[in-house]
Chain A
Amino acid sequence: MNFLRKKFSSYYFHPKIEFPERFDRREYAFIFFNEDKMHRHISFPSTISLETYLKMNAPAHAYYSSAYYRNPSAGTMKEKEWMGADLIFDLDADHLPDVENLSYEETLEKVKLELKKLVSFLTEDFGFSKKDLKIYFSGSRGYHCHVINKKVLSLDSQERREIVDYVTATGINLNGVMKERSIYKEKFRDKTFEIYPMEGGWRGRIAREIIKFFHEIKSMEREEALSKLMEIEGIGRRTAEEIYNALTDERIKRIEYGKIDQTTGFKRIAKPLIKKIAVSLHSETDEPVTTDVKRLIRLPGSLHGKTGLRVTKLEIDEIENFSPLRDAVVFGEKEIKIKLVKPINTKMMENEFNLEKGETKVPEYLAVFLIARKMATL
């Protein structure tokens, strides 16, 4: 028997599965080792029958539907009869720019930042309580955030899209967020922007971020400030100097009150700040999971066939300290002989591993991880 399958099977004899609500209304789907085909349209009358299935088959990947149906095992959507769906956000490194050259740990740290932003939107703006949110490490390169609140179940995909557009700042109207005003001073006309730090929604968020930004600039050394400003697209040295020179204490005070007299290049500053606070949920072309009301999601507690890591639940307060290569590991210390395809530097279970290419002995947890990632063979 295949090594990974054997290991997975041993896990599924004592798994820690977290069963979804409305368990028997869900569709389940599996991919087995050495197969590409997905086995779909499966339903289970009881949690025991699902556990038995996992034990018997030790699948490489296990999923359940975010939707619940009248007939979850029916073959077509129409026969399934859609009843509702959880609201799920899928944060994945694949959706982030500039992660190709990062290590696994660094990549996941980046996704964590997105997760924290998302949680802030969901709790502060949308008013969900922390109890409504369940967060899972995906077993691979991301996190899932499930909103468990019966009010969201019946949202249709367009209503879900409004929520996605909100957290990603899609369709935001800059002119509504900060208002341009003309002031008449004696003989000449001057322009000014108004921002609204006390307000809710994006208006307030952007305003507070802008204020923070100007504070940062003010606290920096001249050259550092200028280069930070020039990082912004469309701001050259002259504009940067103009902005920096105008930042007197009095100016900063006025900005805190929401008045921005500096109009040159100002809109240019706002745009990257929006990008910074918005959540990167999906790339420009593909559709986010959230708006899809019939998506398959990894079963919490199951193992990910391409890492051997467990889809693991974490509390909101644990986000900061969560480390997948420690907290999502299920296998033991027993030594196993493997052949490395290339040299490896990684940290797992708090142990540093600096291994040369070729044969070596490693703990079982690392063996599973490397073999699943196709970085080693038996």
Chain B
Amino acid sequence: MELFELAKYPFMKEAKEWVKNEKVSVEEILFDELYERARERGVRRVREAIEDGIVGEIPLVDEADCIMEIFSYPVARMIVISIENEYLLRRYALAEAKKAYLHMKIEPFEFIKKLSEEFGIEINGNEIHFLDYLKYAPTWDFKWKLVNRDLKNGYVKIEKNEIARLIQEAIRKKIYDELIYAFAPPEVKKVFKNEIMSIRSKFSFKNKEIKTGEISHQYFPPCIKNLINSAKAGLNIPHVGRFTLVTFLNSIGMDTEEILKIFSSSPDFNSEKTRYQIEHITGKISATIYSTPKCDTIRTWGLCYPDEFCKKVSHPLYYYRRRKK
């Protein structure tokens, strides 16, 4: 990859090797005036990730711009780790992946293919194997459900932009997996003291806003109670059931942590993945806050176990609100 490309995809193996070969010490990056720009850009990466949900672009005109851009990535990672907040860490990983997606959309196909190799995604012309597809496709979206795809002999037909979307997810996962176990040198907290403080305080403010109202479990409609019981018993809940449960609990003001706890008995419980899905459905990391399906829909999904009170309502949230009064 050329320097310009490394600057666009600084999380790739090649970019990391490039940084290693430059033999710049952590002290230099943190304190040397030479890397002032990289530090500033690193702060911006984190700030934009957390505030806007995507890392913004800066013009890369010459090699010096690219070098600073590449170095700003390890700086941003050190800052994110030092904030010590898992939610922000995930938000950051997604924001970097989204930025990469915008770049990938305009890359030539051959380049996308090369990128995908690093994530073990094998592209065969315009097809990928369904197991790779399932690993990274956002299948909660009907368009991406396997049943709606052209699948033949184990391979799914896929367009270039869609491959980019899968790689986005692979990147998000890679960055997250790396950060969750990483440590930052203690100096980072000193150098970026103000920035870290300001992000932390801003976030805790945001967090408070979400919490609303007291939750009264005894007034949950039977479908929701049933789903919660199944989840707590570690039974498998169909996707539409998870969707119903998450949207309902979110609407009545339960936060991600509490919702997550309900799902944690599943034998293959994957905290990170479940959290990601919850946050997607509840609009924390996506543009849409999905609303709770109405009774009719829940019935066609086979999740309805009505009691007497159900006759009076057409939506699980009405049930809850009317009974809670």
CB distance B154 to A127 under 8 Å?
A: yes
Q: Of A152, A166, A177, A204, which one neighbours B131 at CB under 8 angstroms?
A: A152
Contact with A along B234-253 (1 / 0, CB 8 A): 11111100000000000000
Q: Does B209 contact A (CB under 8 A)?
A: no
Q: Which of A106-114, A182-190, A194-202, A229-237 contacts B (4 or more CB under 8 A)?
A: A194-202
Q: Does B261 contact A (CB under 8 A)?
A: no
Q: Report B130-169 residues with CB < 8 Å from chain A CB.
A: 130-131, 134-135, 139, 142-143, 145-155, 157
Interface size on A, residues (CB 8 A): 41
Q: Does A43 contact B (CB under 8 A)?
A: no
Q: Of B139, B153, B267, B302, which one neighbours A285 at CB under 8 angstroms?
A: B302
Q: Does A105 contact B (CB under 8 A)?
A: no
CB distance B147 to A127 under 8 Å?
A: no
Q: Does B268 contact A (CB under 8 A)?
A: yes
CB distance from B129 to the nearest CB of A (A): 8
With A159-B134, A287-B238 already in contact, the answer to whether A77 and B151 are too (CB < 8 A) is no
CB distance B154 to A165 under 8 Å?
A: no
Q: Of B135, B142, B155, B234, which one neighbours A171 at CB under 8 angstroms?
A: B142
User: Quick one: closest A residue to B156, CB to CB?
Assistant: A201
Residues of chain A within 8 A (CB-CB) of B235 are 287
Q: Does A284 contact B (CB under 8 A)?
A: yes
Q: Does B85 contact A (CB under 8 A)?
A: no
Interface size on B, residues (CB 8 A): 33
Residues of chain B within 8 A (CB-CB) of A215 are none
Residues of chain A within 8 A (CB-CB) of B291 are none
CB distance B236 to A287 under 8 Å?
A: yes
Q: Does A73 contact B (CB under 8 A)?
A: no
CB distance A157 to B236 under 8 Å?
A: yes
Q: Does B270 contact A (CB under 8 A)?
A: yes
What is the CA–CA distance of A172 and B146 in the complex, to the nearest angstrom? 9
Q: Which of A289-297, A307-315, A368-376 contacts B (4 or more CB under 8 A)?
A: A289-297
CB distance from B131 to the nearest CB of A (A): 6
User: Quick one: closest A residue to B157, CB to CB?
Assistant: A200
CB distance A124 to B153 under 8 Å?
A: yes
What is the CA–CA distance of A77 and B269 in the complex, to the nearest angstrom? 11
Residues of chain B within 8 A (CB-CB) of A156 are 268, 270, 273
With A77-B267, A161-B238 already in contact, the answer to whether A127 and B146 are too (CB < 8 A) is no
CB distance from B152 to the nearest CB of A (A): 3
CB distance B236 to A201 under 8 Å?
A: no
Q: What is A's interface to B at a CB cutoff of 8 Å?
A: 67, 77, 82, 124-128, 151-152, 155-159, 161-163, 165-166, 169-173, 176-177, 199-204, 283-285, 287, 291-294
> Can you name 10 A-B pairs with beta carbons within 8 Å?
A77-B267, A126-B130, A161-B238, A162-B145, A171-B148, A199-B150, A200-B151, A201-B148, A287-B236, A293-B267
